């Protein structure tokens, strides 16, 4: 349990996977003093922590509430399901297929339009960093004129999450954004209460919990959470998925020839190169894990990135293979998923089906207008981040059809 491995070190940031393996084998329960937290790295312990109510989400009281306000990500039990269910049906199933797909499709077309008059691009900044956040604003029913504000707000939130409160300027920018989003949304909420549309924001404005309508501040918090939760992860996974396919041309060919494999490429990319590497929990009672006991009221860091590379669950975990059986693709977007990239249990990602739809549209359109795609020969791909990992650039060259 001694602090032999620094999970905040530059080495870890460069390549966490060898250190994950070392933790799993030598320190499955590891107290990391600088963060005052226990660290879990084995798949079975992490899955247990995500599904056992003894691990609460009170951590979001300091990880999420200061930025967004109080939202269902930090609620447990009945309160959590009541609030979660206000939005869940609108971003899955029939509503997703009928109402959201046209918005997703149109948004991708608009962002790809400039790609059609050239043969190279930075996929990360020109597509991935714009697409999911513009989809969210579209499905919320927010106007297109605010696009540049939306992208700016989203970036300051993402920078804040990655910075872990270290840089005062980044923290100050995030709190300024919080005020700007509030000022922008409150008049829109007032308007949607009077003149509802067929969008998710209007649904929230008229939703009731125990017979009581949500307050303006609650709705604002909800929207603010959706912008970051639904933006950053999908943004980074778009680039990881394309990078992985470009580095494995045979599998790229398989996906181009059978578009139903886009979902395999996405899920295997979340396993092989996940965006969310760490989640936190706080124990409400003493819990047993591999290697010992964690006392009540302890902070616990769950290394999702390690679980995704646990060889007891995923055979040959360091290889990228979209055909691997353990992906169990039929369940991969549900709470019964075998991977933990979307979490597990009651807080399993509410946007998993929306993320899948965005991936399908983004790659189908990209393959439709390109004959072939390759990495720019001068590209130096750098994946960075301790809590969430992503690429900062993915320069590509392509031939048009
Ligand atoms: C590749 C894409 C995505 C990944 C990898 C991802 C990952 C995750 C993970 C790991 C959690 C669990 C957090 C926890 O248990 O503490 C989560 C929850 C959540 N996600 Fe996603 N997410 C993605 C896309 C989306 C999208 C598109 C939305 C948009 C609506 C979204 C909204 C949320 C929300 C609101 C929660 C909180 C759920 C709850 O507490 O019940 N996510 N996501």
Instruction: Pick the residue whose CA is nearest to atom 36 on ligand 1.
Output: 349
Q: Is the CB of 231 under 6 A from ligand 1?
A: no
Cα(347) to ligand 1 centroid in Å equals 8
User: What pLDDT score was predicted for residue 207?
Assistant: 85
Sheet with 395-400: strands ordered across: 120-122, 395-400, 370-375
Quick one: which of 159, 160, 236, 230 has its CA closest to 394? 236
Kindly give the distance from the C-alpha atom of residue 211 to the centroid of ligand 1, in angstroms, as a whole number.
Answer: 27
Distance between CA atoms of residues 147 and 318, nearest Å: 39
Residues of the chain with pLDDT > 70, as a percent, come to: 99
CA 268 / ligand 1 centre spacing (Å): 17
Residue 328 lies in a domain: yes
Which strands form 55-56's sheet, in the order they lie side by side? 29-32, 37-40, 299-303, 278-283, 55-56
Q: Is pLDDT of 112 > 70?
A: yes
Residue 112: which CATH number? 1.10.630.10
pLDDT at 212 over 90: no
Query: Tokens 């609620």 — which residue?
Result: 75
Q: Considering only CA atoms, which residue is closest to atom 21 of ligand 1?
A: 349
CB of 342 sitting under 6 A from ligand 1 = yes
The model's pLDDT over 275-327, given as tens digits with 9 standing for 90+, comes to 999 999 999 999 999 999 999 999 999 999 999 999 999 999 999 999 999 99
395 belongs to a structural domain: no
Q: Residue 347: in which H helix or E strand, if any?
A: none
Long-range contacts made by residues 397-400, C-beta under 8 angstroms, separation at least 24?
Answer: 397/119, 397/120, 397/373, 398/115, 398/119, 398/120, 398/121, 398/370, 398/371, 398/372, 398/373, 398/374, 399/119, 399/370, 399/371, 399/372, 400/116, 400/119, 400/369, 400/370, 400/371
Ligand 1 site, residue 289, Cβ cutoff 6 A: no
pLDDT value at residue 63 = 87
- Give the range among 127-136, 204-213, 340-349 with minimum mean pLDDT: 204-213
Give domain status of residue 279, yes or no.
yes
Tell me what the mean pLDDT of segment 393-397 comes to.
98
Number of domains in the chain: 1
- Give per-residue pLDDT as tens, 214-255: 899 999 999 999 988 988 899 999 999 999 999 999 999 999
How far CA 334 is from CA of 50, 55, 236, 273, 357, in Å, comes to: 14, 21, 20, 20, 14
- pLDDT confidence tier of residue 210, bands split at 50, 70 and 90: confident
Q: Is 239 in contact with 391 (CB distance < 8 Å)?
A: yes
3-state secondary structure at position 175: helix
Contact 111, 134 (CB under 8 A): yes
> Is the CB of 91 inside a 6 Å radius of any atom of ligand 1?
yes
Q: What is the pLDDT of residue 1?
A: 44
- Helical (H) or strand (E) element with 42: none
- Determine the residue of 40, 56, 60, 233 to mutate for testing ligand 1's pocket, defined as the one with the most ligand atoms within 8 A of the Cβ atom: 233
- At residue 209, the pLDDT reads 83
Residue pair 278/303 in contact (Cβ under 8 Å)? The answer is: yes
Q: Which domain holds residue 292?
A: 10-371
**Ligand 1 contact via 229 beta carbon (within 6 Å):** yes
Q: Output the pLDDT for position 146.
A: 81
333 lines ligand 1 (CB under 6 A): no
In a domain, 112, yes or no: yes
For residue 313, give the nearest of 302, 324, 299 by alpha carbon.
324
∠ CA 18-352-185, rounded to 5°: 115
Rounded average pLDDT over 38-61: 97
The answer as to whether 129 is a domain residue is yes
User: What does the pLDDT look like over 6-37, one tens digit per residue?
Assistant: 888 888 899 999 999 999 999 999 999 988 99
H or E element in which residue 276 lies: none
pLDDT above 90 covers a percentage of the chain that reads 78
Provide the pLDDT for residue 139: 92
Q: Is residue 192 included in any domain, yes or no?
A: yes
Note whether residue 392 is domain-resident: no
Radius of gyration over alpha carbons of the chain, in Å? 21
Give the pLDDT confidence score for residue 319 in this predicted structure.
98
Q: Is the pLDDT of residue 163 over 80?
A: no
Q: E strand or H helix at 254, and its extent?
A: helix 249-257
Residue 37, class by beta-carbon neighbours within 10 Å (0-12 exposed, 13-18 middle, 19+ buried)?
buried
Average pLDDT over residues 151-159: 86
Determine the atom of ligand 1 nearest the C-alpha atom of 281.
16
Say if residue 157's pLDDT is above 80.
Answer: yes
How far apart, in whole angstroms, are the C-alpha atoms of residue 338 and residue 49?
Answer: 15
Residue 67 vs residue 304, higher pLDDT: 304
The total of other beta-carbon atoms located within 10 Å of residue 15's CB is 10
Pick from 138, 229, 282 the residue to mutate for probing ligand 1's pocket: most ligand atoms within 8 Å of its CB.
229
pLDDT at 147 over 90: no
d(CA 141, CA 200): 7
Q: Is the CB of 261 under 6 A from ligand 1?
A: no
Q: Does 400 reside within a domain?
A: no
Q: What is the pTM of this model?
A: 0.95
């Amino acid at each position: 349990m001694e602090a032999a491995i620094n999970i905040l070190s530059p080495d870890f940031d460069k390549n966490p996977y060898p250190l994950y393996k070392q933790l799993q084998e030598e320190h499955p329960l590891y107290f990391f003093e600088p963060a005052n937290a226990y660290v879990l790295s084995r798949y079975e312990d992490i899955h247990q922590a995500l599904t056992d109510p003894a691990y609460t989400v009170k951590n979001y009281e300091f990880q999420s509430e200061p930025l967004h306000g109080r939202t269902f990500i930090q609620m447990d039990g009945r309160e959590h399901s009541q609030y979660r269910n206000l939005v869940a049906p609108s971003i899955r199933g029939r509503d997703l297929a009928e109402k959201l797909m046209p918005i997703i499709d149109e948004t991708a077309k608009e962002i790809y339009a400039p790609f059609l008059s050239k043969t190279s691009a930075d996929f990360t900044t020109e597509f991935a960093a714009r697409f999911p956040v513009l989809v969210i604003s579209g499905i919320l029913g927010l106007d297109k004129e605010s696009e540049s504000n939306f992208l700016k707000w989203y970036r300051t939130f993402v920078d804040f999450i990655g910075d872990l409160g270290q840089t005062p300027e980044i923290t100050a920018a995030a709190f300024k954004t919080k005020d700007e989003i509030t000022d922008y949304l409150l008049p829109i909420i007032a308007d949607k209460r009077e003149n509802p549309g067929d969008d998710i924001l209007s649904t929230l404005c008229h939703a009731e919990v125990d017979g009581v309508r949500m307050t303006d501040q609650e709705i604002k918090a909800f929207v603010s959470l959706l912008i970051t939760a639904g933006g950053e992860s999908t943004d980074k996974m778009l680039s990881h998925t394309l990078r992985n396919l470009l580095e494995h041309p045979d599998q790229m060919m398989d996906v181009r020839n059978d578009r139903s494999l886009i979902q395999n490429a996405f899920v295997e990319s979340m396993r092989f190169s996940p965006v969310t590497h760490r989640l936190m929990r706080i124990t409400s009672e003493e819990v047993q894990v591999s290697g010992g006991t964690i006392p009540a009221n302890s902070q616990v860091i769950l290394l999702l990135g390690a679980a995704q590379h646990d060889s007891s669950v995923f055979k040959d975990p360091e290889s990228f293979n979209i055909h691997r059986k353990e992906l169990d693709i039929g369940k991969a977007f549900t709470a019964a998923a075998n991977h933990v990239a979307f979490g597990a249990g009651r807080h399993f990602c509410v946007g998993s089906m929306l993320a899948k739809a965005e991936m399908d549209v983004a790659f189908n359109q990209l393959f439709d207008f390109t004959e072939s795609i390759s990495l720019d020969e001068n590209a130096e791909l750098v994946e960075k981040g301790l809590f969430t990992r992503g690429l900062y650039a993915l320069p590509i060259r392509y031939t048009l059809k």
